Amino acid sequence: MEKLSPKLIALDLDDTLLNKETQIPEENVKALQKCAEKGIYVVLCSGRAEEGILPFVRKLDIAGKQAGRFLIAINGCSVFDLHLRQQIFKRTVDADVLLRADELAGEDGLDTEVYSPDTIFYGKETKWTRLDVDLCHVKGEVVEDYRNFLTKGFPKMLIPGEPERVAVLQEKLKKEFGSRAVVFTSKPFFLELLPPDCGKGEAIEFLCSHLGFSIEETMCFGDSMNDESMIRKCGMGVAMCNGLDYIKQAADYVTEFDNNSGGVGKFLEKYVL
């Protein structure tokens, strides 16, 4: 296969760029630094809030370059310019949708959380909220009047719980909201609620327009359902070999090595650099 020439590379974090220790393998770091040196935009693209992505930005050590100045957070609800230190794109879920989702979750014995750029908020702390805070490496905060707090509107609601209960609630929320919200599981125990027409792919489309080139000229790497929109929209969608079969079938390419073996870096070295 001849070399590919993306102008932008978007990268999911968990189970894609990161290994099972939630670290970036050195093969990945070196390959992405080479891409940035060539002027290819390298954009971390995660369900995490901005604050939870920054440690990995620092590890890549390319944020000072034009090619490393952007990140996409909260599954596409936010595009952040690190040079300007501000969001240049933001989407939020309507307050009435958040309130109704919280009500339906409560009926099924599940609790909800909402995200800001640096904090996860919830009505009470549980083993599930602690798990999410630990995974995302951001602050967690209990809000006394949580229902009233939801009326502000937020970019993302997450409903964690046992996979069987989450799956039942997912169908209820999809039926309830239809096109008013995007509902999906990022992990079997994490149900997410996002604004309509919002996802990693849509955020990449915005960034491409902002930078003046087509999404057909971009590459992305992902493994799970929250990566589907970018895998389908990017001109060069790459699924991790450890990813879901559904995502691998939707992708243009599949890595030869998994996330624990520097699969991203090895793919880039072979097909881009």
Query: Could you read off the pLDDT tens digit of each residue along the chain, which spans 273 residues?
Result: 789 999 999 999 999 999 999 999 999 999 999 999 999 999 999 989 898 999 999 999 999 999 999 999 999 999 999 999 999 999 999 999 999 999 999 999 999 999 988 899 999 999 998 988 888 878 999 999 999 999 999 999 999 999 999 999 999 999 999 999 999 888 889 999 999 988 999 999 999 999 999 999 999 999 998 999 999 999 999 999 999 999 999 999 999 999 999 999 999 999 999
Give me 187's structure tokens. Answer: 């992990």
In angstroms, rounded to a whole number, what is the distance separating the alpha carbons of residues 255 and 222?
10
User: What pLDDT score does 256 carry?
Assistant: 98
Q: How many CB atoms lie within 10 A of CB 222?
A: 31
| Kind and range of the H or E run holding 193 | strand 190-194
User: What pLDDT score does 231 carry?
Assistant: 98
Query: Which residue, among 5, 3, 39, has the nearest Cα to 214 in the 3D structure?
Result: 5
Give me 123's structure tokens. Answer: 């009505």
Q: How many residues does the chain have?
A: 273
- Is 160 strand, coil or helix? strand
- How would you list the strands of the sheet with 113-115, edge to edge? 139-142, 119-122, 113-115, 157-160, 190-194, 182-187
DSSP 13: I
Q: How many CB atoms lie within 10 A of CB 254?
A: 17
In angstroms, rounded to a whole number, what is the distance separating the alpha carbons of residues 244 and 53?
23
Q: How many CB atoms lie within 10 A of CB 34?
A: 16
User: What pLDDT score does 239 carry?
Assistant: 98
User: What pLDDT score does 197 carry?
Assistant: 84
Cα dist from 173 to 110, 148, 157, 181, whole Å: 13, 21, 12, 9
User: What pLDDT score does 138 carry?
Assistant: 85
**Please, are residues 18 and 49 in contact by the beta-carbon 8 Å criterion?**
no
User: What pLDDT score does 1 carry?
Assistant: 76
**Please, are residues 89 and 203 in contact by the beta-carbon 8 Å criterion?**
yes
In angstroms, rounded to a whole number, what is the distance separating the alpha carbons of residues 116 and 120?
6
User: What pLDDT score does 99 carry?
Assistant: 97
**Please, are residues 9 and 42 in contact by the beta-carbon 8 Å criterion?**
yes
In angstroms, rounded to a whole number, what is the distance separating the alpha carbons of residues 119 and 174?
26
